[in-house]
Structure 1
């Protein structure tokens, strides 16, 4: 596999041909977020700085041995990698050849009518305020993921959709934010701090973020690991309907 500079997407296989959600890969290819890209003939591999990756292209079958060697060696890897594969090549022996654990990723489609029927009015938990996410919450140290994992700086984050947070007595309990944003859609990321779980904060900030999207003429997008039952059930309660379930693999650092 030969490494390409980011923002070299015109010379790579087109992502539009991949029948799953590929926002994080597009962010890498277009230089919106940090990451790396490799190619072997008609196959490509994009790795987002956060650890998500995608293999795609019309020549994945021909490049399969080189891809497997590249992925299993993982010399480039600084953290665990979560690999998705273009579904057109799902029949190849990924499970047999990869030194990786298999999971499943759910892609949802948003049903606005369901959301509006359920959340015409939605109360914020007592004592909490939901408001736009501020720079001090852009990179919290005690959560799994924050917006800084997806954007080069706070200004870029704000320009591409920003976020909403739940705050009480100066503490941020939960946030919903733009993870990727292209064209007329915005992928939502969500995080609740451990000390504040079980109070309905994730739902409150998610509702606020969805309303923010709709008010800007954007379609909210949600995707999560199927094994993350909390995210899965929250998405469905918000009007997101399962569109595709595809395998993906965790390649350890």
Structure 2
């Protein structure tokens, strides 16, 4: 099929992997979809010879890349980004490549993109939050996505004897709650336990904080972190992340960290662990 955003059959995913490998920033979440490690969907302008591709990971991250001038695809893309059919009810954040897509989206969405930094310079925090909520169902927000590079060294962190770090197993998996947790990044518990890795900081039977591989490909391991609400702000995430970094060092994995720059908790945690900024990209929150 030609003309719009056509669902690409899974037997075509392998053809997209080579194109994906040429993108010069972190796309592991998209690769996980193509390699069937994570749930998601792939659309293309043409099922037989795709020139423009959109990969949506079910966690809520997506990637658009390829030819910017496929008119039928772009019409469907505008419809999708503005949630014209009302099917999207949760966050979805989009990255694009090449850079030409950023100006293309400005033209395509015709005033429907609001730059968060511009608003943040005009309004105090409370008014800013109200402004965001007011426009969230009608406009796309542009944020900043930070790619980090690990420049730290392995550290030993002393943990209060009250707390223990345990490998995430089937029993712990079933009890993990939150928004950044393994079940949202992996196709199944079995896939995670076979191919992933993660640690949980425990207070008795309480899961205090977890650090886990949200994506794991070749010698790259992307880190996901979640801390139970009642334990936040006490440095527990740093302790369990250090355990995962030690695992990476011992097993020759390159740790990967990316986050929205405006997510100050994740941003500061990355810096405290020895990650440094390597690239900042536009990051689009789609209408929902």
Common fold by TM > 0.5 = yes
| 1:231 paired to 2:269 | no
CA contact (8 A) 2:36 2:187 kept: no
Q: In structure 2, how many angstroms separate the alpha carbons of the residues matched to 1:11 and 1:55?
A: 16
Q: In structure 2, how many angstroms separate the alpha carbons of the residues matched to 1:248 and 1:236?
A: 20
CA contact (8 A) 2:68 2:104 kept: no
Using the TM superposition, give the Cα deviation of residue 132 of structure 1 relative to its aligned residue in structure 2, in angstroms. Answer: 0.7
2:191 is matched with: 156
- Three-state SS of the structure 2 residue aligned to 1:207 is helix
Q: In structure 1, how many angstroms separate the alpha carbons of the residues matched to 2:165 and 2:258?
A: 23
Structure 1: where are the runs of 5+ without partners? none
Q: In structure 2, how many angstroms separate the alpha carbons of the residues matched to 1:10 and 1:79?
A: 29
| 1:47 paired to 2:52 | no
- Three-state SS of the structure 1 residue aligned to 2:183 is helix
Residues 34, 77 of structure 1: alpha-carbon distance in 2 compared, 3 angstrom cutoff: same
Larger radius of gyration: 2
1:200 is matched with: 235
CA contact (8 A) 2:169 2:193 kept: no
2:100 to 60, 64, 89: 89
| 1:23 paired to 2:28 | yes
Structure 2: where are the runs of 5+ without partners? 113-138
CA contact (8 A) 1:15 1:22 kept: yes
Using the TM superposition, give the Cα deviation of residue 126 of structure 1 relative to its aligned residue in structure 2, in angstroms. Answer: 4.5
Using the TM superposition, give the Cα deviation of residue 137 of structure 1 relative to its aligned residue in structure 2, in angstroms. Answer: 3.0
1:143 is matched with: 178
Q: CA deviation digits over 1:98-139, x for unaligned, max 9? A: 53111111001111xx323xx1x2112451111211223325
1:115 to 153, 159, 162: 153
Aligned-pair RMSD on alpha carbons?
2.0
Using the TM superposition, give the Cα deviation of residue 65 of structure 1 relative to its aligned residue in structure 2, in angstroms. Answer: 4.2
| 1:130 paired to 2:158 | no
CA contact (8 A) 1:51 1:82 kept: yes
Q: CA deviation digits over 1:135-176, x for unaligned, max 9? A: 233254641221000112222112223100100121010000
Q: In structure 2, how many angstroms separate the alpha carbons of the residues matched to 1:7 and 1:215?
A: 36
TM-score (norm 1): 0.89
1:171 is matched with: 206
